[in-house]
Amino acid sequence: MREYLLTLCVAAAVTYLLTGPVRKFAIAAGAMPEIRARDVHREPTPRLGGIALFGGLCAGLLVASRLMNVGDVFTLSNEPRALLSGAGLIWLLGVLDDKWGVDALIKLGGQMIAAGVMVWQGLTILWLPVPGIGAVALSPVQSTLLTVALVVITINAVNFVDGLDGLAAGMVCISGIAFFMYAYRLWFGYGVEQAAPGTLFSAILIGMCVGFLPHNIHPARIFMGDSGSMLIGLVMAASAISITGQVDPDVITNTTGSVRSTVHEMVPVYIPLLLPLTLIAIPAADLVLAIVRRTWNGQSPFAADRGHLHHRLLEIGHSHSRAVLIMYFWSALIAFGTVAYSARSSSMWILLAVVLLSAVGLVVLLLPRFKPRAPRWAQSFVPPRYRRRKVNPADAQLDGSQPDQTPEALGLHGATAVGERSNLPERRSVSSSR
């Protein structure tokens, strides 16, 4: 676990440190497209955040290859090299699209080529665990088609959901954490060595998203663009493919004692392939709804619009931050609920917990607007836009603004602070990309 945490932290640190210089490079390169009708941000914001994410991926793989235990993945398997090859191709395609724009069909072809490269290097689905039957071997043609389809669907699902600040990175991070928990359980709980690559990929994916989120949370200073959304979608697909395609169910059968129990233990693997990904069910549902909606209206399935789930949340009155948090909540509920069910499917408390959390989610929809602000002890560790800003009283008289009137500054506590907070003037955060 310590080596996985080290790899995660390195990927997060490199991504975080690279994002600032990448933002300046994107501005200098002119990768700041004009505001489109479907966009929710009001000012041009630089893209190319995928450059920093790709740097975090390379750093994580490099550090992992030098570690004692995790490093065995690189000698016993060709999957890390397959991931890096496919990620490099999809990242390059995304960079070109962020800067100059690429036709949708060309992007689809590039995604299929990247998936084909991974299949050619051994990252493919060899068999499927089917309930009541067991492991079903796939022919080379079936294996290639299924793997390419899964990669393309996952990439576009993540790309479609990347419409609000911090939404795609946060949802993929939540899904990555849930998948890491399942893969780590297979690796160390059942001694399945083939689960080690998927566990490593999930840890690096979490680090990439954690390092990028501080720069991407509303108001975002930089967008990941297609170079980032397609990259993290491919890494997530590679994790699922590595677990499903390489883990031999017979190894788990030796522990569980029956094929039926083995198939049950593989539940979080075959469900992602059928849905196609339970861990990103919200983006997948958004993708399906978008295709149906556009086809019904006589448009191309790749035509952009404002009908995504996050757009609808904004239209019914939710703020930007609340819409993102709502999507986070439902993604976490589905992802962690699936992992919990795989561990204890006979426990009634799991179903009750899911129902209770669903009720909590409905209550959250009725709460007042939420504006993230870091506590005072963390002021020096977060970006300036999340700090409590203080206004000099002398300067406030000159520009007509009010001094710092937080409950702490006014000496209000408890119910008095809550009651007075609604009367305080609201300060709008200004994007630093102006």
Binding residues for Mg(2+): 159, 226
* Cβ contact 308:314 at 8 Å: no
Smallest CA-to-CA distance from 192 within 248, 135, 260 is with 248
Other Cβ atoms within 10 Å of 223 Cβ, number: 28
At 168, list the tokens: 């795609």
Calculate helix-pair angle for 267-274, 225-246, nearest 10 degrees: 130
SS3 of the chain: helix, strand, coil, percent, to 5: 70, 0, 30
At 101, list the tokens: 């724009």
Longest Cα–Cα distance of the chain, Å, equals 78
Rounded-to-integer distance, Cα 75 and Cα 64, Å: 12
Residue type, 77: S
Smallest CA-to-CA distance from 107 within 80, 123, 88, 89 is with 89
> Residue 392: beta bridge partners?
none
Task: Pick out the residues of the known binding site.
Answer: 159, 226
3-state secondary structure of 129: strand
Calculate helix-pair angle for 196-216, 167-184, nearest 10 degrees: 160
Rounded-to-integer distance, Cα 100 and Cα 81, Å: 29
Q: Cα dist. 143→184, 231, 271 in Å? A: 25, 22, 17
Looking up tokens 């590595």, which residue turns up?
A: 242
Reported as type and span, the H/E element at residue 102 is: none
Smallest CA-to-CA distance from 254 within 193, 198, 190 is with 190
Smallest CA-to-CA distance from 93 within 84, 83, 103 is with 103
* Cβ contact 406:423 at 8 Å: no
Dihedral sign from CA coordinates of 130, 249, 61, 328: positive
At 387, list the tokens: 């700090």
